[in-house]
Amino acid sequence: MPGGYMGKILRVDLSTGALRTEPILEEVARKYLGGKGYAVYILYNYLREYEFKGISPPDINPLGPENVLIFATGPGTGIPGFPCSGRYHVMALRSPLTGSIGSANSGGEWGPFLKFSGYDMIVIEGASEEPVYLSIVNGVAELRSAGDLWGKNVFDTCRILSRRVGGKNTSVACIGPAGENLVRMACIVNDEHRAAGRTGLGAVMGSKKLKAIVVSGDEKVPVANPDEFREVSRRCLETMRKNRVTGEGLPTYGTSILINVINTAGGLPYKNWQTGVNPYADKISGETLAETYLTGRRACWGCTIGCGRVTSVPSGPFQIIGTEGPEYESIWALGGSTGVKDLDAIVKANHYCDEFGMDPISLGSTIAAAMELYERGYIPKEDLQGLDLRFGNSTALVEAVWRTAYRVGFGKYLALGSKKLCEIYGHPEISMSVKGLEMPAYDPRAMKGIGLEYATANRGGCHVTGYTVSVEILGIPEKIDPLTPEGKAKWAKLFQDFACVVNSTVNCLFSTFALGVKDYADLLSAVTGWSLSEDEILRIGERIYNLERVIINRLGFDGKDDTLPRRLLEEPMPEGPAKGHIVELERMKEEYYRLRGWVNGIPTAEKLKELEIEL
């Protein structure tokens, strides 16, 4: 077994209660690393098996026992000195929110502790009849009743299970009421405030009656070449320390430093993307958060950046003592997109998202879509049942969060996500989503590349699949004009491929503000003992992205779905530096498909062969 791996995958069949251990296969790891890559490989094999049994992939019910859920770490996870290696990736064959592949990533301590418990990955199929939780302690896995935990919120579940299981390096990943209630944007939360947020994977756990996974242990992750690793690690950590973003910006302000940066560029979506300029941006910015509610910071396991925010709202109607966040995306979705400018209400709404287990990006965006529907007269007032969903109403925002988690009143519609909600009310164009996944906080009319990226992201409207904002706005590793569509395809592809490497390593994407492909090649070579070149690293990333694409093709997604909401393609930005701009998507997409070797969003046989993907 190469270094970096514990060498074991736990297979769980919740329908029968059977648990079995399988080895990590070196030939698969060499091609797909671990984390997202290895999970995509496993999911593809499930899909093939289903097809062989005569089940058509589009018939797979995301909330049925046939859906498969994978928790995965990679060879970098949990190694002291490996930059930002406290993360894990979760994937599902289908997302209940989008119908496309489910994919999300989380920090905290759970990922490393899974490895310390003796496993690299957990593959879960079937569904239990009664609520259960999975416990893995030093290599011993057990399913136990979660009857007493069902109905409990995330914080209580984490605390009770940590105590119950005890031991060294114990961490709990669980769902809250939202996941139990099959809310489509329910997420999986670990360590109370860290979440595998996107694509509704909490609802998949809920549908399987799996309340939590507790991991605990003190095994060490082997490193193939410790001396070489020490040297590369020292170099990389030094680079990150000296880098102004990873060494100072993120530690001081967290991700919300971006609120003012993106608003200045005219790309901070306001009131459900009706414009990209928020007149109140400074009131909800990282600077304001630092001056008001910030009380400390918290890092994921082994991370030297520590971008997590610890906050408190000491008094007032939105009082909350001792919470974490909100991050840039959460502030924007719960605040900017809804027009809410009271930071205390945003902190509280974000706290509820953690407590009940929901993705603030999709939830905030769905609330914002409801606000636009309502203000345009498309939702009758009586449907809202007293929830006054006007833009900027902070009380309604906070109320909408818990109503959604419990599917109370209008919450039962919000719980479906913006796409379904807008379809129900006859105006699908109001949903600011791609493939059913609500887009995050960057308006592509003000930065064209991210529009191409949203459109072509396999999991749907997502920024971290390939963060072109880095070159368009931040100037990392070089600066290109955000307002031109020229040259964006190359960057979208490169970032998407590289992000696959990071999410298969698994460590944190934020390290890439300072570290490049060569650093990853060196780190992974030292850890695994393979000698990986930069080209090979990117080829692995490209392979993962293409196999993931093959899966979504089989699920029914192709070029027609690689698109953006009509607003971004047809309504010119009304004000700010991007005034008059729309997204020239088709032009960029054509170049992108050419670079990818895809036709109509489908990888060609030659491309798959070139990448050594055997179908």
Partner 1 sequence: MPNVSVKVLLFATFRKKYGSKELIIECDGTIKGLINSVSNVLGREFYDDVYDEKRGMVRDDLIFAINGRNIKDLKGNIGLKDGDVVAIFPPLAGGLSPHTL
236 binds ligand SF4 (CB under 6 A): no
The answer for residues whose C-beta is within 8 angstroms of residue 424's C-beta and 6 or more apart is 413, 416
Residue whose pair of structure tokens reads 């919450």 in the numeric block: 411
The stretches of 109-211 forming alpha helices (DSSP H) are: 110-116, 154-165, 177-180, 201-207
Could you count the other beta carbons within 10 Å of the beta carbon of residue 350?
A: 29
With binding defined as CB under 6 A, does residue 107 bind ligand SF4? Answer: yes
Question: Residues near 154 by Cβ (< 8 Å), separated by ≥ 6?
Answer: 174, 175, 176, 189, 192, 354, 355, 356, 357
Contact positions with ligand SF4 (CB under 6 A) in 470-509: 508
Is residue 240 near ligand SF4 by the rule CB under 6 A? no
Binding segment for ligand SF4 (CB under 6 A), chosen from 54-62, 80-88, 123-131, 286-294, is 80-88
User: Least distance in Å: CB of 317 to ligand SF4?
Assistant: 30
Window 424 to 463, contacts with ligand SF4 (CB under 6 A): none
Q: Alpha carbon of 114 to those of 6, 110, 122, 159, 557: distances in Å?
A: 10, 6, 9, 18, 33
Kindly tell me which of 282 and 429 has the beta carbon lying closer to partner 1: 282
- Residue 84 contacts ligand SF4 per CB under 6 A: yes
Looking at the Cβ atoms of 184 and 193, the one nearer to ligand SF4 is 193
305 is a site residue for ligand SF4 (CB under 6 A): yes
Minimum distance, C-beta of residue 508 to ligand SF4, in the bound complex (Å): 3
Helix (H) or strand (E) holding 538: helix 534-554
> Does 37 interact with ligand SF4 (rule: CB under 6 A)?
no
Between 31 and 115, CB nearer to ligand SF4 = 115
Least distance from C-beta 247 to partner 1, angstroms? 8
Q: Decide: is 303 part of the binding site for ligand SF4 (CB under 6 A).
A: yes
Residues paired with residue 173 on neighbouring β-strands, in sequence order: 190, 213
Q: Which does 257 bind (CB under 5 to 8 A by kind): partner 1, ligand SF4, none?
A: partner 1
* Minimum CB distance to partner 1 smaller for 389 or for 494: 494
Could you say whether residue 110 binds ligand SF4 (CB under 6 A)?
A: no
Name the site residues for partner 1 (rule: CB under 8 A).
239, 243-245, 248-250, 252-253, 257-258, 260-261, 264-266, 282, 286-287, 473-483, 494-495, 498, 512-519, 576-578
- Residues near 244 by beta carbon (within 8 Å), at least 6 away in sequence: none
Q: List the Cα angle 368/372/376 in 5-degree steps.
A: 170
Per residue, the 3-state secondary structure of 388-422, as one string, reads CCCCCCHHHHHHHHHHHHCCCCCHHHHCCCHHHHH
**What are the residues whose beta carbons fall under 8 Å from the beta carbon of 148, sequence distance 6 or more?**
none
Partner from partner 1, ligand SF4, none binding residue 498, C-beta < 5-8 Å depending on class: partner 1
- What is the full DSSP assignment across 107-138? -SSHHHHHHHTT-SEEEEES--SS-EEEEEET
Nearer to ligand SF4, 253 or 545 (CB): 253
Q: Which two tokens stand for residue 433?
A: 């989503």
Taking the complex as a whole, the smallest distance from the CB of residue 84 to ligand SF4 amounts, in Å, to 4
Contact residues for ligand SF4 (CB under 6 A)? Answer: 84, 86-87, 107, 299-300, 303, 305-308, 508, 510
